[in-house]
Structure 1
Amino acid sequence: MRKRFSSNFITRHVQFYFSIYCFIMVLFVMGIIFGAIIVNSLSVAQKEDLFYYLNQFFGQVADGKIGKSEELLKISFFHNVKFVGLMWLLGISIIGFPLILILLFLKGVTIGFSVGFLVHQMGWNGLLLAFVTLLPQNLLIIPVYIFIGAISIAFSIKLIRKIFVRQGFSYRIVPEFARYFMSYIAVVAVITVAASIEAYAAPVLMKSILASLQG
């Protein structure tokens, strides 16, 4: 019964904000494509420098010299919490939703550049590394970014309508803000799971892939 209710709630939520979700996802994909294109615009010297530092990092991973999993967990957790927290606050700021779109686009650029650079420099091996190191946690993180971006933009639009279009518009701010706040708490819970995957599973997978490539 609870699963059916949750499924119906999610379906109604996506349908209600369908246009916002579509726009955000298109923008995010454009960011990924743009990030991949940037790789080709780098000079040979820039690519060699980046690949040198990347090889050093891979060497540290293979030797087990990266930070402890607990430290990686904290870094990943606080980074993502701050990022979604910024979008959440921009939603309250009323006129901050253009910045939300910029942040989502830049996050797409970062992912696209990371994957594109690995594939450009290492071919199929780079794609495999990107798959095991970036995909697991991003299966949770990317939907979280899209979700918090959508509800932040929607909340900002509602506030604008409340302030500037008073006539014929009934809007209870306190219940809406409570739901908005609870959405952020739910997002933090998902980020905790994603950060755990990035801290504990991703390094192990990366180390095993690097060992097999070197062997």
Structure 2
Amino acid sequence: MYKQIAANNPIMIHLKTYSSIYFFIITLFMMGVIFGAIVVNSLSFTQKEDLDFYLSQFFGQMADGEVAASEDLFRQSFFHNLKYIGLLWVLGISIIGLPLIFIFLFMKGMVIGFSIGFLVDQMEWHGFLLSFVSVLPQNLIIIPVFIVIAVLAVGITMQLIRKLFTQRTTNIQILPLFSKYILAFVIAIIVISVAAGIEAYLSPSLMKSVLTVN
């Protein structure tokens, strides 16, 4: 009974269909995170000092409550992630954008790895707590969205390539595939709005609490 339900579950079907792409995308993203953390150790003393200065200024303003309004933070976060996901989505239907999908996903992982790595390197346990409340909450939502959109983008690119070069033998229906692709993008927009809300309204309060306590 359980196997029959799982076999008819759209999510299970999706995961089974794109399992190899998910494995590759997640591995690539994790490599980006690890590489970003390693890059921190390759920075010169002067570069670390400069970054630490700006970081101290930012945290000082955060502790004093001198930060942008939550509404502005929400807009900045939402449109930043929307542009990123939108770019991945467009690259998926451009066919020639396949390598760029991998590059952008790797870079996203690298930025997150560098952010966490630098905070921990400079502030040790305190930096770990700050990264936990400032980087983790919204990225627990954003990262899965990026991965799913990247997987779908790669998947539709491969389908379009197959359709293009095997026109006589393929049974691929482009219109239903493209409709699902649009639906996935709409759902992604809704989800990143939730992540932007967390980043704008929750994370600053958590960061201020950590900075005040420590």
TM-score normalised by length of structure 1: 0.95
User: 2:213 and 2:37 mapped to 1: Cα distance?
Assistant: 26
- Kindly provide the amino acid, as one letter, of the partner of residue 31 in structure 2: M
Equivalent residues in 2 for 1:131-142 (5 A)?
131-142=132-143
Is it true that 1:111 corresponds to 2:112 in the alignment? yes
User: 1:8 and 1:129 mapped to 2: Cα distance?
Assistant: 39
- Kindly provide the amino acid, as one letter, of the partner of residue 186 in structure 2: I
User: 1:192 and 1:18 mapped to 2: Cα distance?
Assistant: 27
Root-mean-square deviation (CA, aligned residues, Å) is 1.2
User: 2:186 and 2:85 mapped to 1: Cα distance?
Assistant: 11
Partner of 2:52: 51
Structure 2: segments with no counterpart, 5+ residues: none
User: 1:155 and 1:97 mapped to 2: Cα distance?
Assistant: 10
C-alpha displacement of 1:167: 2.8
Divergent runs of 4+, >2 A: none
Aligned length: 209
C-alpha displacement of 1:168: 1.8
Equivalent residues in 2 for 1:110-189 (5 A)?
110-189=111-190
- Kindly provide the amino acid, as one letter, of the partner of residue 203 in structure 1: P
User: 2:110 and 2:93 mapped to 1: Cα distance?
Assistant: 25
CA deviation map 1:8-45 (0-9, x unaligned): 22121111100000000000000000000000000001
CA deviation map 1:37-74 (0-9, x unaligned): 00000000100100000000001101111100000000
User: 1:66 and 1:12 mapped to 2: Cα distance?
Assistant: 45
CA deviation map 1:170-211 (0-9, x unaligned): 111111111100100000000000000000000000000000
Partner of 1:90: 91
- Kindly provide the amino acid, as one letter, of the partner of residue 39 in structure 1: V
Using the TM superposition, name which of 163-172 and 81-90 deviates more: 163-172
TM-score normalised by length of structure 2: 0.96
- Kindly provide the amino acid, as one letter, of the partner of residue 26 in structure 2: M
Q: Percent identity of the aligned residues?
A: 56
User: 2:120 and 2:176 mapped to 1: Cα distance?
Assistant: 47
Structure 1: segments with no counterpart, 5+ residues: none
